[in-house]
């Protein structure tokens, strides 16, 4: 009896602690992963900031490598292919009806005639913003992220300080949009309050198809925020690194067929072993 | 070119197509209104005629727009369907130097709009109408109405066709004949309408017209007892005026697309602030958030004596009760529209309208010309287009603002590059696809090319290129004697591309992969052999 009495407060305390951790991590029901679009390969949670670092060469180290040694004024190319794909998939969601996409920062404007951009009505529902300076850029991102009518915000996040990322993270939790902030790889070692961080690398391919490696660097409450379905269905296979490729026939970025099969096989093996 | 071709509008009915309107060129060819379209086609004897179905609603709207334009000549303007305007110029002639000058200026300006006009000024509306439609001259001024009218046909009075025919049967074809007949007999045989029209033309009976009434823009203003120098006072006043303006807008069932704030300062000229909105709005909070920050940057001088807010451009807007029924947090699609409009307004008014844009597809082969950016304030809501068609080939996700020069080594003159240098990157090409030949449409002249000139190549590339070339081909460090310029040396391209619009050239595009996995979209200018990079699959 005494042990049972002792266990009850412990269980209550544990539940309180769990809910508190969830709250600190920006949790709660708001951070449930957004529903995946049909046929999509990746579903990301809305209401959090996803930082996308890239693009870097395959042999460059993520942190402390040659990416850091680059000149600060060296040209930086954001991973627009992946970001376009995510924006396009997000628009296919029924809850995105009537809502729009904002591209902020000239560097993050995709080519409007790109295959991924003209697929569906992404181009029709997109607005492109070109702030003249960093201060205006942060203000514009903050405003767009808070807007309930914006379903995806793709922004140039170069030079953002910790306080700015915290501000954007809070705004994202309030607004509920999918916030994709592209940042140069040189800023990987900067402090950030973003819930999720990604790194995209170029990688070579043999079948004349552009291919990238997407690596998940950080995810607070990962299972809720990231659900990358390499097998196209339930995600049995949850790696932290994925290879994706540009497929013209499908009008966007997809998991290569060979890798998809392999991941499915891995899932079957996992099920069999279970 | 269209002006050189005759224009016909037709109506369809009872299995026939009838000419409803024709231009002067068609009239000169013998085409008359009421003729069958097949007959008119035969008379025009060529396929060059522009033939369209008649759209009465569009004609009416155009006539109303023309009436609005004619308000510059007189405050009283009425439409006289289907193709006439009645302008009461009494008291306005002296502003234009007399009646004759007014008539000529009116006619000249209408012709300047691309229209054909017959203008007549007369003592009565009916007289002027009759002379304009049935007189011999294009521009006429009638001083004595009865004499001029006597020579015109009876149809000029604007009576029914049946009455005109009945009068014609008894040999009365001109108005002069009517004037000689006893009035009582006319009324008994042809009805009172004929006499009324006759009297109106002669000025013996009044004729009422229904002039258009342009709405004055909603205005809310406040005049201070003395000059106000406090910024907070002005801001509070602007907020109050916006609330008043919102009520006026609600009464009209519309919202503001453009607002003008005017501050009359005591010591200097008034200052105006104009804000544009992407969609109609009468939300006081939203309008205040746009306007009040702009007030902060105004120099109030020695004080402001009057503040006025005017909605200079309006748009239809449903009542608030019709919005926000779907409680999904945003208020449904219309609620999302409202939030979206507020976001675009805030961005446009702070960053500038040219910095908040939409992309619209353009039908062209040139990659950089396949879209154009237009301000969201111009386009309003999402464009109606369904988006461009899929390009015939793969297109990159990133297009450089300007094509940048490349130093390239190709194994064959027309083949893909085997090695390239772009910015500070020197890469061996491991895979390629192409070429895809793209050229500007032949009908596009230089004036239409909006492509910026490519950046001129850097001259220093020449030497480093030669060194790299040697290392690549010879597998050894080059000696001074080995350095030679080739046709693909970037320095030679400087003169060829500088100052010339590259969009006029034919390009062979290649999709190439360097040894690090980057896929680049490069092209060779066919005419000069210069290489440029235009995009990346980023």
Residue B66: predicted pLDDT: 92
The residues in B 92-131 lying below 8 A from A, measured between CB atoms, are none
Q: Which of A134-148, A182-196, B135-149, B348-362 comes out lowest in average pLDDT?
A: B135-149
B114 prior amide bond cis, ω within 30: no
- Cβ-Cβ contacts under 8 Å, B390 against chain A: 115, 118, 251
Provide the pLDDT confidence category of residue A202 given band limits of 50, 70 and 90. Answer: confident
Tell whether B123 and B223 lie within a shared domain: no
Tell whether B68 and B47 lie within a shared domain: no
At which of B288, B317, B351 does a domain end?
B351
Residue A36: predicted pLDDT: 39
Tell whether B29 and B146 lie within a shared domain: no
Would you call B363 an interface residue with chain A, using a CB distance cutoff of 8 Å? no
Q: How many helices and strands in chain B, by DSSP H and E?
A: 16, 20
Tell whether B194 and B224 lie within a shared domain: no
Structure tokens at B317: 């807007």
A55 prior amide bond cis, ω within 30: yes
Closest by Cβ to A147, choosing from B339, B351, B356: B339
pLDDT over 60 (residue A101) = yes
User: CA of B287: how far to CAs of A127, A146, B255, in Å?
Assistant: 21, 18, 11
At which of B170, B202, B234 does a domain end?
B202
- Cβ-Cβ contacts under 8 Å, A94 against chain B: none
Residue of A nearest to B333 (CA): A98
What CATH number corresponds to the domain at position B26?
3.40.1170
For residue B273, give the nearest of B244, B246, B234, B329 by alpha carbon. B234
**Helix-helix angle A162-175:A134-146, to 10 degrees:** 20
Q: What is the pLDDT of residues B128-148, one digit of tens each?
A: 988 898 888 888 888 876 778
Interface contact A75-B423, CB threshold 8 A: yes
Closest CA of chain A from B347, distance in Å: 7
For residue A152, give the nearest of A245, A251, A45 by alpha carbon. A45
Domain-embedded: residue B281: yes
Interface contact B387-A123, CB threshold 8 A: yes
Closest by Cβ to B517, choosing from A117, A132, A203: A203
Tell whether B194 and B78 lie within a shared domain: yes
Tell whether B6 and B92 lie within a shared domain: no
Tell whether B253 and B126 lie within a shared domain: no
Would you call B398 an interface residue with chain A, using a CB distance cutoff of 8 Å? yes
- The Cα A100–Cα B338 span in angstroms is 12
Tell whether B198 and B225 lie within a shared domain: no
Map out the domains of chain A with their CATH numbers: 36-273 (3.40.50.300)
Q: What is the pLDDT of residues A26-44, one digit of tens each?
A: 544 343 444 333 345 566 7
Interface contact B382-A205, CB threshold 8 A: no
Residue B320: predicted pLDDT: 63
- The Cα B153–Cα B176 span in angstroms is 9
Residue A87: predicted pLDDT: 87
Tell whether B186 and B234 lie within a shared domain: no
Interface contact B340-A77, CB threshold 8 A: no
Tell whether B43 and B70 lie within a shared domain: no
Query: How many percent of chain A have pLDDT more than 70?
Result: 67
pLDDT over 60 (residue A63) = no
Q: Which domain holds residue B36?
A: 2-54
> What is the total count of domains within chain B?
4
Domain-embedded: residue B389: no
Interface contact A115-B357, CB threshold 8 A: no
Closest by Cβ to B390, choosing from A80, A115, A206: A115
Q: Are A148 and A172 in contact (CB under 8 A)?
A: no
Interface contact A205-B376, CB threshold 8 A: no
Residue B138: predicted pLDDT: 84
For residue B293, give the nearest of B350, B339, B344, B331 by alpha carbon. B350
| Phi, psi at A157, each rounded to 5° | -105, 25
- The Cα A204–Cα B517 span in angstroms is 4
- Cβ-Cβ contacts under 8 Å, A121 against chain B: 386-387
Would you call B248 an interface residue with chain A, using a CB distance cutoff of 8 Å? no
Closest by Cβ to A112, choosing from B359, B394, B517: B359
- The Cα B197–Cα B507 span in angstroms is 72
- Cβ-Cβ contacts under 8 Å, B538 against chain A: 55, 77-81
Residue B106: predicted pLDDT: 92
Residue of B nearest to A206 (CA): B431
Mean pLDDT per 10-residue run, chain B (538 residues)?
Answer: 75 85 86 88 78 89 90 91 88 88 91 88 89 86 79 86 87 86 84 86 87 87 92 92 93 90 91 89 89 88 93 81 49 67 88 89 80 82 59 78 84 84 82 83 54 39 39 40 35 38 72 86 84 87
At which of B137, B169, B202 does a domain end?
B202
- Cβ-Cβ contacts under 8 Å, B332 against chain A: 98
Tell whether B428 and B527 lie within a shared domain: yes
Domain-embedded: residue B384: no
Structure tokens at B416: 């893909």
Residue B502: predicted pLDDT: 53
Residue B301: predicted pLDDT: 87
Q: What is the pLDDT of residues B332-387, one digit of tens each?
A: 555 677 788 888 988 998 898 889 998 888 877 888 888 888 888 887 666 665 55
Residue of B nearest to A135 (CA): B351
Question: Is this complex scored with an ipTM above 0.90?
Answer: no
Interface contact B343-A204, CB threshold 8 A: no
Interface contact B357-A130, CB threshold 8 A: yes
Residue B475: predicted pLDDT: 40
pLDDT over 90 (residue A164) = yes
Would you call B327 an interface residue with chain A, using a CB distance cutoff of 8 Å? no
What is the residue whose two structure tokens read 């071709």? B5
Domain-embedded: residue B497: yes
Domain-embedded: residue B207: no
Domain-embedded: residue B371: no
Would you call B323 an interface residue with chain A, using a CB distance cutoff of 8 Å? no
A135 prior amide bond cis, ω within 30: no
Q: Are B531 and B488 in contact (CB under 8 A)?
A: yes
- Cβ-Cβ contacts under 8 Å, B385 against chain A: 124
- The Cα A153–Cα A106 span in angstroms is 13
- The Cα B447–Cα B504 span in angstroms is 11
What is the residue whose two structure tokens read 């009297």? B199
Domain-embedded: residue B368: no
- The Cα B112–Cα B90 span in angstroms is 24
| Phi, psi at B476, each rounded to 5° | -150, 165
In degrees, to the nearest 5, what angle opens at C-alpha B474 toward C-alphas B469 and B476?
Answer: 95
3-state DSSP assignment of residue B154: helix
Residue of A nearest to B328 (CA): A95
Domain-embedded: residue B500: yes
Closest CA of chain A from B465, distance in Å: 21
Q: Are B178 and B153 in contact (CB under 8 A)?
A: no
**Helix-helix angle B192-202:B125-134, to 10 degrees:** 90
Residue B322: predicted pLDDT: 54
Residue B486: predicted pLDDT: 34
Closest CA of chain B from A220, distance in Å: 26
- Cβ-Cβ contacts under 8 Å, B328 against chain A: 95
Residue of B nearest to A57 (CA): B516
- The Cα B214–Cα B379 span in angstroms is 25
Closest by Cβ to A116, choosing from B383, B386, B397: B397
Residue of B nearest to A245 (CA): B537
Closest by Cβ to B538, choosing from A55, A126, A129: A55
Q: Are B489 and B468 in contact (CB under 8 A)?
A: no
Interface contact B391-A79, CB threshold 8 A: no
Q: What's chain A's average pLDDT?
A: 74
Would you call B400 an interface residue with chain A, using a CB distance cutoff of 8 Å? no
- Cβ-Cβ contacts under 8 Å, B515 against chain A: 204
What CATH number corresponds to the domain at position B319?
3.30.1490.100
Interface contact A248-B394, CB threshold 8 A: yes
Tell whether B307 and B251 lie within a shared domain: yes
Residue A136: predicted pLDDT: 93
Residue of B nearest to A204 (CA): B517
For residue B500, give the nearest of B432, B446, B428 by alpha carbon. B446
Strand B417-422 to B425-438 pairing: antiparallel
Interface contact A100-B423, CB threshold 8 A: no
Look up residue B458 and give its DSSP letter.
P
Maximum Cα–Cα distance for chain A, whole Å? 72
A262-269 contacts: CB < 8 A, separation 24 or more? A263/A230, A263/A231, A263/A237, A264/A231, A264/A232, A264/A237, A266/A236, A266/A237, A267/A231, A267/A234, A267/A236, A267/A237
Interface contact A77-B398, CB threshold 8 A: yes
- The Cα B480–Cα B461 span in angstroms is 16
Residue B327: predicted pLDDT: 45
- In this structure, the number of other CB atoms found within 10 A of the CB of residue B279 comes to 19
Residue of A nearest to B336 (CA): A149
């Amino acid at each position: 009896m005494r042990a049972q009495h002792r266990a009850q407060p412990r269980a209550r305390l544990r539940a309180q602690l769990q809910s508190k951790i969830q709250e600190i991590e920006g949790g709660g029901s708001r951070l449930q992963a957004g529903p995946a679009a049909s046929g999509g390969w990746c579903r990301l949670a809305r209401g959090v900031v996803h930082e996308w670092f890239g693009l870097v060469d395959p042999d460059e180290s993520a942190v402390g490598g040659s990416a850091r040694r680059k000149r600060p004024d060296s040209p930086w190319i954001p991973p627009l292919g992946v970001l376009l794909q995510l924006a396009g998939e997000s628009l296919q969601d029924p809850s995105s009806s009537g809502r729009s996409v904002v591209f902020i920062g000239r560097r993050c404007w995709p080519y409007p005639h790109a295959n991924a951009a003209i697929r569906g009505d992404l181009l029709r529902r997109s607005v492109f913003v070109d702030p003249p300076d960093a201060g205006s850029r942060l203000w514009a991102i903050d405003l767009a992220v808070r807007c309930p009518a914006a379903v995806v915000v793709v922004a140039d996040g170069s030079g953002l300080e910790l306080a700015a990322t915290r501000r954007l993270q809070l705004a994202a939790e309030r607004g509920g949009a999918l916030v994709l902030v592209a940042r140069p790889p040189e800023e990987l070692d900067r402090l950030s309050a973003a819930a999720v961080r990604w790194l995209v690398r170029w990688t070579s391919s043999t079948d004349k198809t552009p291919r990238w490696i997407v690596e998940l660097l950080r995810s607070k409450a990962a299972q809720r925020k990231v659900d990358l379905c390499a097998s196209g269905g339930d995600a049995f296979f949850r790696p932290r690194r994925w290879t994706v490729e540009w497929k013209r026939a499908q009008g966007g970025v997809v998991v290569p067929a060979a890798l998809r099969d392999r991941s499915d096989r891995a899932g079957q093996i996992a099920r069999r072993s279970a | 070119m269209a002006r050189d071709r005759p224009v016909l509008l037709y109506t369809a009915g009872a299995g026939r197509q009838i000419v409803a309107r024709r231009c002067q060129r068609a009239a000169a060819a013998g085409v008359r209104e009421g003729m069958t379209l097949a007959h008119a086609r035969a008379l025009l004897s060529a396929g060059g005629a522009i033939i369209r179905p008649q759209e009465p609603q569009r004609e009416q709207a155009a006539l109303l727009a023309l009436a609005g334009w004619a308000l510059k000549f007189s405050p009283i303007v009425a439409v006289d369907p289907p193709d006439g305007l009645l302008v009461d110029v009494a008291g306005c002639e002296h502003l234009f130097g007399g009646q004759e000058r007014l008539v000529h200026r009116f006619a000249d300006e209408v012709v300047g709009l691309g229209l054909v006009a017959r203008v007549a000024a007369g003592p009565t509306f009916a007289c002027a109408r009759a002379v304009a439609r049935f007189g011999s001259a294009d521009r006429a001024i009638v001083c004595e109405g009865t004499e001029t009218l006597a020579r015109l046909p009876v149809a000029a009075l604007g009576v029914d066709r049946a009455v005109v025919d009945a009068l014609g049967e008894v040999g009365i074809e001109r108005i002069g004949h009517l004037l000689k007949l006893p009035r009582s007999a006319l009324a008994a045989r042809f009805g009172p309408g004929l006499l009324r029209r006759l009297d109106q033309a002669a000025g013996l009976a009044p004729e009422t017209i229904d002039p258009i009434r342009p709405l004055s823009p909603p205005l809310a203003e406040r005049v201070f007892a003395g000059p106000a120098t406090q910024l907070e006072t002005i801001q509070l006043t602007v907020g109050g005026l916006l609330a008043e303006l919102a009520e006026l807008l609600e009464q009209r069932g519309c919202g503001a697309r453009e607002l003008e704030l005017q501050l009359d300062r005591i010591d200097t000229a008034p200052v105006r602030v104009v804000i544009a909105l992407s969609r109609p709005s009468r939300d006081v909070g939203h309008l205040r958030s746009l306007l009040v920050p702009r007030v902060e940057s105004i120099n109030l001088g020695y004080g402001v004596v009057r503040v006025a807010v005017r909605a200079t451009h309006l748009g239809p807007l449903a009542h608030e009760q019709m919005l926000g029924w779907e409680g999904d947090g945003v208020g449904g699609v219309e609620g999302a529209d409202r939030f979206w409009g507020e976001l675009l307004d805030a961005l446009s008014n702070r960053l500038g309208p040219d910095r908040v844009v939409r992309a619209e597809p353009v039908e062209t082969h040139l990659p950089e010309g396949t879209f154009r950016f237009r301000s969201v304030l111009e386009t309003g809501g999402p464009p109606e287009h369904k988006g461009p068609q899929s390009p015939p080939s793969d297109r990159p996700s990133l297009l450089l603002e300007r094509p940048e020069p490349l130093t390239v080594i190709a194994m064959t003159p027309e083949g893909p590059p085997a090695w390239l240098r772009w910015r500070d990157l020197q890469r061996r090409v491991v895979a390629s696809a192409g070429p895809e030949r793209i050229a500007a449409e032949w009908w596009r002249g230089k004036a239409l090319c909006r492509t910026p000139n490519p950046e001129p190549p850097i001259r220093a590339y020449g030497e480093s290129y030669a060194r790299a070339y040697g290392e690549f081909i010879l597998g050894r460090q080059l000696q001074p004697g080995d350095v030679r310029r080739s046709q693909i040396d970037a320095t030679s391209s400087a003169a060829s591309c500088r100052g010339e619009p590259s969009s006029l050239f034919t390009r062979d595009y290649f999709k190439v992969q360097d040894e690090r996995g980057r896929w680049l979209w490069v092209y060779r200018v066919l005419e000069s052999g210069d290489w440029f990079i235009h995009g990346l699959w980023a």
